Amino acid sequence: MADLSVIVSDIELKLRNLLDEKSRLAKENKRLTEENEALQHENVALRQSAGELKDKINKSTIVNALDNEGELEEGRKLIKDLVREIDRCVSILNSKE
For every one of its 97 residues, what pLDDT tens digit does the chain have, with 9 covering 90 and above?
678 888 899 999 999 999 999 999 999 999 999 999 999 999 999 999 998 998 888 888 777 766 666 667 777 788 888 889 888 888 888 876 5
Q: What is the biggest distance separating any 2 CA atoms in the chain, rounded to whole angstroms?
A: 101
Contact (Cβ atoms closer than 8 angstroms) between residue 71 and residue 64: yes
According to the 3-state scheme, what is the secondary structure of 63-92?
HHHHHCHHHHHHHHHHHHHHHHHHHHHHHH
The DSSP symbol for 53 reads H
State the pTM of this model. Answer: 0.53
